[in-house]
Amino acid sequence: MRSGHRLPVTRRRWETPDGDFVDLDLLPAEPGAPRVLVLHGLEASSKAGYIAEVFRQACLRRWQAIGLNFRSCNGEPNRLATSYHSGSTADALFVARKLREAAPAPLTAIGFSLGGNILLRLLGETGDAAPIDAAVAISVPYDLQTCARALDSPGGWFWIYRSRFLRSLRKKALEKSRRFPQLFDRRAIRSASRIEAFDEAVTAPLNGFASATHYYAQCSSGPILNRIRRPTLLLNAKDDPLAPSPVPPEALTNPNLTVVATEKGGHVGFVSGSLFRPRYWAEQQAMDFLSRYTASS
Protein backbone atom coordinates (compact mmCIF):
# COMPACT_ATOMS: atom_id res chain seq x y z
CA MET A 1 0.00 0.00 0.00
CA ARG A 2 3.01 2.30 -0.01
CA SER A 3 2.98 5.16 -2.48
CA GLY A 4 5.62 5.46 -5.14
CA HIS A 5 8.05 8.34 -5.50
CA ARG A 6 7.81 11.45 -7.62
CA LEU A 7 11.52 12.01 -7.88
CA PRO A 8 13.26 12.97 -11.16
CA VAL A 9 14.15 9.44 -12.24
CA THR A 10 15.57 8.67 -15.67
CA ARG A 11 15.13 5.28 -17.33
CA ARG A 12 18.06 3.78 -19.20
CA ARG A 13 18.21 0.55 -21.19
CA TRP A 14 21.41 -1.46 -21.20
CA GLU A 15 22.01 -4.25 -23.68
CA THR A 16 23.21 -7.42 -21.96
CA PRO A 17 26.02 -9.66 -23.28
CA ASP A 18 23.55 -12.45 -24.16
CA GLY A 19 21.50 -10.30 -26.54
CA ASP A 20 18.77 -9.26 -24.10
CA PHE A 21 18.39 -6.03 -22.12
CA VAL A 22 17.74 -4.63 -18.66
CA ASP A 23 16.13 -1.33 -17.73
CA LEU A 24 17.52 0.88 -14.98
CA ASP A 25 15.83 3.76 -13.19
CA LEU A 26 18.41 6.36 -12.18
CA LEU A 27 18.16 9.08 -9.56
CA PRO A 28 20.82 11.64 -10.49
CA ALA A 29 23.39 13.08 -8.10
CA GLU A 30 26.55 15.16 -8.20
CA PRO A 31 29.63 13.49 -9.71
CA GLY A 32 31.54 11.54 -7.08
CA ALA A 33 28.50 11.00 -4.85
CA PRO A 34 28.06 7.53 -3.33
CA ARG A 35 25.79 5.19 -5.26
CA VAL A 36 23.30 2.55 -4.19
CA LEU A 37 22.08 -0.19 -6.52
CA VAL A 38 18.64 -1.46 -5.48
CA LEU A 39 17.19 -4.91 -6.30
CA HIS A 40 13.46 -5.56 -5.99
CA GLY A 41 11.52 -8.66 -4.98
CA LEU A 42 9.50 -11.27 -6.84
CA GLU A 43 7.36 -9.78 -9.63
CA ALA A 44 7.92 -6.24 -8.40
CA SER A 45 9.92 -3.47 -10.10
CA SER A 46 11.88 -0.37 -9.22
CA LYS A 47 8.50 1.37 -8.82
CA ALA A 48 7.76 -0.65 -5.67
CA GLY A 49 7.11 1.35 -2.52
CA TYR A 50 10.16 0.02 -0.71
CA ILE A 51 12.40 0.93 -3.67
CA ALA A 52 10.81 4.40 -3.66
CA GLU A 53 11.72 4.75 0.02
CA VAL A 54 15.37 3.94 -0.71
CA PHE A 55 15.32 6.55 -3.48
CA ARG A 56 13.90 9.12 -1.04
CA GLN A 57 16.55 8.26 1.52
CA ALA A 58 19.24 8.52 -1.16
CA CYS A 59 17.91 11.90 -2.28
CA LEU A 60 18.09 13.22 1.29
CA ARG A 61 21.72 12.15 1.45
CA ARG A 62 22.52 13.43 -2.05
CA TRP A 63 23.39 9.92 -3.25
CA GLN A 64 22.74 8.45 -6.65
CA ALA A 65 20.26 5.57 -6.63
CA ILE A 66 19.99 2.96 -9.38
CA GLY A 67 16.97 0.69 -9.50
CA LEU A 68 17.52 -2.48 -11.55
CA ASN A 69 14.37 -3.91 -13.10
CA PHE A 70 14.84 -7.64 -13.53
CA ARG A 71 14.03 -8.96 -16.99
CA SER A 72 10.27 -8.84 -17.73
CA CYS A 73 9.63 -6.65 -14.65
CA ASN A 74 9.82 -3.33 -16.47
CA GLY A 75 6.38 -3.57 -18.08
CA GLU A 76 7.77 -5.06 -21.28
CA PRO A 77 8.64 -8.70 -22.14
CA ASN A 78 12.33 -9.42 -22.49
CA ARG A 79 13.67 -10.97 -25.68
CA LEU A 80 14.86 -14.38 -24.52
CA ALA A 81 12.84 -17.31 -23.18
CA THR A 82 14.46 -16.98 -19.75
CA SER A 83 13.90 -13.92 -17.60
CA TYR A 84 15.05 -14.01 -13.96
CA HIS A 85 14.89 -16.24 -10.89
CA SER A 86 16.06 -16.28 -7.27
CA GLY A 87 19.61 -17.23 -8.15
CA SER A 88 20.14 -15.31 -11.38
CA THR A 89 23.07 -13.07 -10.49
CA ALA A 90 24.34 -12.38 -14.01
CA ASP A 91 22.38 -9.18 -14.66
CA ALA A 92 23.04 -7.66 -11.24
CA LEU A 93 26.74 -8.46 -11.61
CA PHE A 94 26.81 -7.04 -15.15
CA VAL A 95 25.20 -3.79 -13.94
CA ALA A 96 27.42 -3.51 -10.85
CA ARG A 97 30.60 -4.02 -12.87
CA LYS A 98 29.53 -1.51 -15.49
CA LEU A 99 28.73 1.05 -12.79
CA ARG A 100 32.09 0.37 -11.17
CA GLU A 101 33.90 0.90 -14.46
CA ALA A 102 32.00 4.11 -15.18
CA ALA A 103 33.08 5.98 -12.03
CA PRO A 104 35.33 5.53 -8.98
CA ALA A 105 32.65 6.68 -6.51
CA PRO A 106 31.60 4.20 -3.79
CA LEU A 107 29.10 1.60 -4.97
CA THR A 108 26.77 -0.09 -2.49
CA ALA A 109 23.66 -2.25 -2.88
CA ILE A 110 20.37 -3.07 -1.17
CA GLY A 111 18.29 -6.13 -2.03
CA PHE A 112 14.77 -6.93 -0.89
CA SER A 113 13.38 -10.48 -0.58
CA LEU A 114 14.23 -12.28 -3.86
CA GLY A 115 16.47 -9.35 -4.80
CA GLY A 116 18.24 -9.77 -1.47
CA ASN A 117 18.82 -13.44 -2.17
CA ILE A 118 20.32 -12.54 -5.56
CA LEU A 119 22.52 -9.90 -3.94
CA LEU A 120 23.83 -12.33 -1.32
CA ARG A 121 24.45 -14.98 -3.96
CA LEU A 122 26.40 -12.42 -6.01
CA LEU A 123 28.52 -11.43 -3.01
CA GLY A 124 29.17 -15.05 -2.06
CA GLU A 125 30.02 -16.12 -5.60
CA THR A 126 32.44 -13.24 -6.22
CA GLY A 127 34.03 -13.10 -2.75
CA ASP A 128 37.05 -10.78 -2.68
CA ALA A 129 36.33 -9.70 -6.28
CA ALA A 130 32.84 -8.37 -5.55
CA PRO A 131 32.32 -4.99 -7.29
CA ILE A 132 30.24 -3.70 -4.35
CA ASP A 133 31.72 -1.93 -1.31
CA ALA A 134 28.95 -2.71 1.19
CA ALA A 135 25.47 -4.23 1.05
CA VAL A 136 22.18 -4.71 2.87
CA ALA A 137 19.76 -7.63 2.38
CA ILE A 138 16.24 -7.22 3.76
CA SER A 139 13.67 -9.98 4.36
CA VAL A 140 15.70 -12.57 2.49
CA PRO A 141 14.52 -16.20 2.12
CA TYR A 142 17.84 -17.87 2.96
CA ASP A 143 16.25 -21.26 2.24
CA LEU A 144 14.13 -21.10 -0.92
CA GLN A 145 12.45 -24.45 -0.30
CA THR A 146 11.20 -23.24 3.10
CA CYS A 147 9.99 -20.00 1.56
CA ALA A 148 8.11 -21.76 -1.25
CA ARG A 149 6.40 -24.08 1.21
CA ALA A 150 5.43 -21.10 3.37
CA LEU A 151 3.85 -19.40 0.36
CA ASP A 152 2.03 -22.60 -0.49
CA SER A 153 0.61 -22.93 3.03
CA PRO A 154 -3.14 -22.68 3.68
CA GLY A 155 -4.45 -19.43 5.07
CA GLY A 156 -5.80 -16.13 3.79
CA TRP A 157 -2.62 -14.08 3.76
CA PHE A 158 -0.64 -16.80 2.02
CA TRP A 159 -3.43 -17.16 -0.54
CA ILE A 160 -3.34 -13.41 -1.24
CA TYR A 161 0.43 -13.37 -1.82
CA ARG A 162 0.44 -16.65 -3.73
CA SER A 163 -2.43 -15.58 -6.00
CA ARG A 164 -0.79 -12.27 -6.77
CA PHE A 165 2.54 -13.84 -7.64
CA LEU A 166 1.09 -16.70 -9.67
CA ARG A 167 -1.27 -14.51 -11.64
CA SER A 168 1.67 -12.46 -12.90
CA LEU A 169 4.06 -15.41 -13.33
CA ARG A 170 1.55 -17.51 -15.28
CA LYS A 171 0.61 -14.60 -17.53
CA LYS A 172 4.24 -13.98 -18.45
CA ALA A 173 4.99 -17.67 -18.94
CA LEU A 174 1.99 -18.15 -21.24
CA GLU A 175 3.05 -15.13 -23.29
CA LYS A 176 6.55 -16.58 -23.59
CA SER A 177 5.10 -19.96 -24.58
CA ARG A 178 3.59 -18.39 -27.69
CA ARG A 179 7.03 -17.20 -28.78
CA PHE A 180 8.94 -20.29 -27.62
CA PRO A 181 6.38 -23.13 -27.76
CA GLN A 182 9.01 -25.88 -27.62
CA LEU A 183 10.26 -24.70 -24.21
CA PHE A 184 7.01 -24.43 -22.27
CA ASP A 185 4.25 -26.79 -21.17
CA ARG A 186 1.15 -24.62 -21.39
CA ARG A 187 -1.04 -27.16 -19.61
CA ALA A 188 1.36 -27.32 -16.66
CA ILE A 189 1.54 -23.53 -16.50
CA ARG A 190 -2.23 -23.14 -16.37
CA SER A 191 -2.65 -25.84 -13.75
CA ALA A 192 0.08 -24.54 -11.40
CA SER A 193 -1.78 -23.36 -8.30
CA ARG A 194 1.24 -23.42 -5.99
CA ILE A 195 4.62 -21.67 -6.17
CA GLU A 196 6.52 -24.95 -6.06
CA ALA A 197 4.37 -26.35 -8.87
CA PHE A 198 5.15 -23.33 -11.03
CA ASP A 199 8.86 -23.63 -10.32
CA GLU A 200 8.68 -27.34 -11.17
CA ALA A 201 6.90 -26.63 -14.48
CA VAL A 202 8.68 -23.46 -15.59
CA THR A 203 11.55 -22.05 -13.52
CA ALA A 204 13.53 -25.26 -13.07
CA PRO A 205 13.47 -26.73 -16.61
CA LEU A 206 13.83 -23.35 -18.30
CA ASN A 207 16.99 -22.57 -16.34
CA GLY A 208 18.68 -25.96 -16.46
CA PHE A 209 17.65 -27.37 -13.06
CA ALA A 210 16.47 -30.96 -12.68
CA SER A 211 13.52 -30.02 -10.48
CA ALA A 212 12.15 -27.29 -8.22
CA THR A 213 13.98 -28.92 -5.30
CA HIS A 214 17.24 -28.81 -7.24
CA TYR A 215 16.63 -25.15 -8.14
CA TYR A 216 15.98 -24.23 -4.50
CA ALA A 217 19.07 -26.04 -3.29
CA GLN A 218 21.36 -24.49 -5.91
CA CYS A 219 20.05 -20.93 -5.59
CA SER A 220 19.47 -20.43 -1.85
CA SER A 221 21.79 -17.81 -0.39
CA GLY A 222 22.10 -19.43 3.05
CA PRO A 223 24.78 -21.99 2.16
CA ILE A 224 27.23 -19.41 0.81
CA LEU A 225 26.87 -16.59 3.35
CA ASN A 226 30.21 -17.59 4.85
CA ARG A 227 31.89 -16.69 1.54
CA ILE A 228 30.86 -13.02 1.60
CA ARG A 229 33.82 -10.66 1.90
CA ARG A 230 32.09 -7.27 1.95
CA PRO A 231 30.42 -5.56 4.95
CA THR A 232 26.82 -6.74 4.74
CA LEU A 233 23.78 -6.14 6.93
CA LEU A 234 21.21 -8.95 7.08
CA LEU A 235 17.90 -7.56 8.29
CA ASN A 236 14.96 -9.88 8.96
CA ALA A 237 11.88 -9.96 11.19
CA LYS A 238 11.12 -13.02 13.30
CA ASP A 239 7.43 -12.75 12.34
CA ASP A 240 8.14 -12.74 8.58
CA PRO A 241 5.52 -15.12 7.12
CA LEU A 242 7.19 -15.47 3.71
CA ALA A 243 10.83 -15.87 4.74
CA PRO A 244 10.61 -17.88 7.96
CA SER A 245 14.03 -19.53 7.72
CA PRO A 246 16.57 -18.00 10.14
CA VAL A 247 20.10 -17.02 9.21
CA PRO A 248 22.19 -20.22 9.06
CA PRO A 249 24.28 -20.56 12.25
CA GLU A 250 27.55 -20.90 10.34
CA ALA A 251 27.00 -17.43 8.83
CA LEU A 252 27.10 -15.90 12.31
CA THR A 253 30.84 -16.57 12.43
CA ASN A 254 31.50 -14.47 9.31
CA PRO A 255 32.91 -11.14 10.60
CA ASN A 256 31.73 -9.38 7.45
CA LEU A 257 28.07 -9.97 8.32
CA THR A 258 25.96 -7.93 10.72
CA VAL A 259 22.77 -9.81 11.61
CA VAL A 260 19.70 -7.98 12.91
CA ALA A 261 16.52 -9.96 13.66
CA THR A 262 13.63 -7.87 14.99
CA GLU A 263 10.64 -9.34 16.81
CA LYS A 264 8.20 -7.58 14.47
CA GLY A 265 8.40 -6.24 10.95
CA GLY A 266 6.75 -8.80 8.71
CA HIS A 267 7.96 -9.17 5.13
CA VAL A 268 9.58 -5.99 3.79
CA GLY A 269 7.48 -4.07 6.31
CA PHE A 270 9.16 -2.61 9.41
CA VAL A 271 6.63 0.22 9.60
CA SER A 272 6.72 2.67 12.51
CA GLY A 273 5.08 6.02 13.12
CA SER A 274 1.33 6.44 12.67
CA LEU A 275 -1.24 5.37 10.09
CA PHE A 276 -1.17 8.74 8.34
CA ARG A 277 2.53 9.46 8.91
CA PRO A 278 4.28 6.11 8.59
CA ARG A 279 8.04 5.74 8.78
CA TYR A 280 9.91 2.90 7.14
CA TRP A 281 12.59 1.79 9.53
CA ALA A 282 14.41 -0.83 7.46
CA GLU A 283 15.28 1.46 4.56
CA GLN A 284 16.65 4.11 6.91
CA GLN A 285 18.70 1.50 8.76
CA ALA A 286 20.02 0.23 5.46
CA MET A 287 21.16 3.65 4.29
CA ASP A 288 22.67 4.46 7.70
CA PHE A 289 24.66 1.20 7.54
CA LEU A 290 25.92 1.88 4.01
CA SER A 291 26.84 5.45 4.93
CA ARG A 292 29.31 4.20 7.53
CA TYR A 293 31.28 2.41 4.83
CA THR A 294 31.15 5.04 2.10
CA ALA A 295 32.40 7.76 4.47
CA SER A 296 35.81 6.10 4.61
CA SER A 297 35.94 4.96 0.98
CA dihedral sign of residues 14, 107, 279, 147:
positive
> Quick one: 61 exposed, middle or buried, by C-beta within 10 A (0-12, 13-18, 19+)?
middle
> Quick one: 14 exposed, middle or buried, by C-beta within 10 A (0-12, 13-18, 19+)?
middle
Give Rg (Cα) of the chain. Answer: 18
- Active-site choice (5, 40, 85, 267): 267
Strand order in the sheet with 64-69: 10-15, 21-27, 64-69, 35-39, 107-112, 134-138, 232-237, 257-262
Judge whether 267 counts as a catalytic residue: yes
- Residue pair 122/92 in contact by the 8 Å Cβ criterion: yes
- Residue pair 108/294 in contact by the 8 Å Cβ criterion: yes
H/E stretch holding 14: strand 10-15
Give whole-number Cα distances, 112 to 155, 175, 192, 286, in Å.
24, 27, 25, 11
- Active-site choice (86, 113, 220, 245): 113
- Active-site choice (5, 23, 240, 245): 240
Query: Phi, psi (5° rounding) for residue 110?
Result: -130, 130
Query: Catalytic positions, please?
Result: 113, 240, 267
